Amino acid sequence: MSTESLQHITVLLDEAVAALVQNPDGFYVDGTFGRGGHSALVLNQLSPTGRLMAIDKDLEAIACAHTRFADDARFDIAHGSFSRLQEFVTDRDMFGQVDGVLLDLGVSSPQLDDPMRGFSFQHDGPLDMRMDTTSGESVAQWIMRASQDEIADVIYTYGEDRHGRRMAKAVVEARAIAPIETTAQLAKIISDANPSWEKGKHPATRAFQAFRIHINRELEDLEKCLDQSLDSLKVGGRLVIISFHSLEDRIVKRFIRKHVKGDDHLPMSIPVTSDMLKQRLKAVGKMVKASATEVDENPRSRSAVMRIATKIA
């Protein structure tokens, strides 16, 4: 299936770019290029001297970037995880000088809809789920070697599914008979082991989310990226993050709250000035969700939550 045939609708496009770009001459980072929806609008807002660096794990996204923005000297892209943000920014002599970092944490539609990527139970395909197919192990490889307890913990922790132990037991029993190599195989095993199907939701939804998050180290990478973003931004720089499930949003919300509040370990018996608190961020507005119109046009935007913060020190 060609990349061109798989369409991706960028979520909260106008809202995210409006929040991000405060200086048309600045240097910006799109940490999750995808198919370039946010990057295209950022470039449209930049002056001839502005610059945009994008990052993506997916080689198909890298190829899309080279084709789509080949003639724009203001743009370049790095292949890898956004957990290497500081490295990529430093390579461009912009550490501490970044005007804005944008992270769209959703899986792109081409990844979800291409059966060969193995992200979805809606289409049968190889059980892979790696965003970067050049490194690491696939879900099929992991599921054949992981212990029953590890599989159960992943489903419970990253899928928030209380039936993780039953599902893990079913997986271990099934793999003893034959290797689990396709999404259809795994989806049936998980579904049959799930005693409480939710209306309107495939019974393997939470488990598939859990396996994807685990195999791509999504939450660990997010925590690393947030810390590096704060140090990479200049004072006045913006951090704009779009999350799609509660695990991601919880990490983002706590990170922003921590650096808005500052040092809360100071003794209560002494007067505290703002400089003593070492506050580094200021939250910008409340969380933003997709409008009803956007949700109607793109149902995948329903769960999106955007949070914005400015670096103040």
180 and 226 both lie in a single domain: no
Domain with residue 105: its CATH number is: 3.40.50.150
| pLDDT attached to residue 123 | 85
CA quadruple 136, 59, 34, 237: dihedral sign: positive
Q: What does each C-alpha distance from 94 to 26, 62, 162, 195 come to in angstroms?
A: 11, 21, 45, 53
142 and 288 both lie in a single domain: no
| 56 has binding-site annotation | yes
Determine contact, residues 138/127, Cβ cutoff 8 Å. yes
90 and 161 both lie in a single domain: no
Distance CA 151, CA 160 (A): 13
| pLDDT attached to residue 273 | 56
270 and 205 both lie in a single domain: no
60 and 124 both lie in a single domain: no
Which residues partner with 76 through β-bridges?
Answer: 53
* Structural domain ending residue among the three candidates 188, 216, 244: 216
103 and 34 both lie in a single domain: yes
Determine contact, residues 190/170, Cβ cutoff 8 Å. yes
Distance CA 24, CA 70 (A): 21
Does the predicted model carry a pTM greater than 0.85? yes
Range of the domain at 60: 13-109+218-311
119 and 87 both lie in a single domain: no
102 and 228 both lie in a single domain: yes
| pLDDT attached to residue 120 | 85
25 and 62 both lie in a single domain: yes
Per-block average pLDDT, block size 10, for the chain (313 residues)? 52 96 98 96 98 96 96 97 98 98 88 84 92 95 98 97 96 98 97 92 94 97 98 98 96 97 65 69 96 91 96 96
| 36 has binding-site annotation | yes
The pLDDT tens digits for 144-164 are 999 999 999 999 999 999 999
Determine contact, residues 63/3, Cβ cutoff 8 Å. yes
243 and 206 both lie in a single domain: no
Determine contact, residues 62/73, Cβ cutoff 8 Å. no
The pLDDT tens digits for 187-210 are 999 999 999 898 888 999 999 999
- Domain for residue 166, yes or no? yes
Best CA proximity match to 280, nearest among 241, 242, 220, 226? 226
* Structural domain ending residue among the three candidates 216, 247, 272: 216
- Domain for residue 5, yes or no? no
280 and 237 both lie in a single domain: yes
| pLDDT attached to residue 5 | 36
- Domain for residue 90, yes or no? yes
- Domain for residue 182, yes or no? yes
What's the structural domain count of the chain?
2
Q: Is 64 exposed, middle or buried (0-12, 13-18, 19+ CB in 10 A)?
A: buried
46 and 186 both lie in a single domain: no
| Range list of H helices, the chain | 13-20, 37-45, 59-68, 85-91, 109-113, 139-145, 148-159, 164-175, 183-193, 205-215, 218-232, 246-261, 274-277, 292-297
66, amino acid identity: H
| 111 has binding-site annotation | yes
- Domain for residue 1, yes or no? no
- Domain for residue 290, yes or no? yes
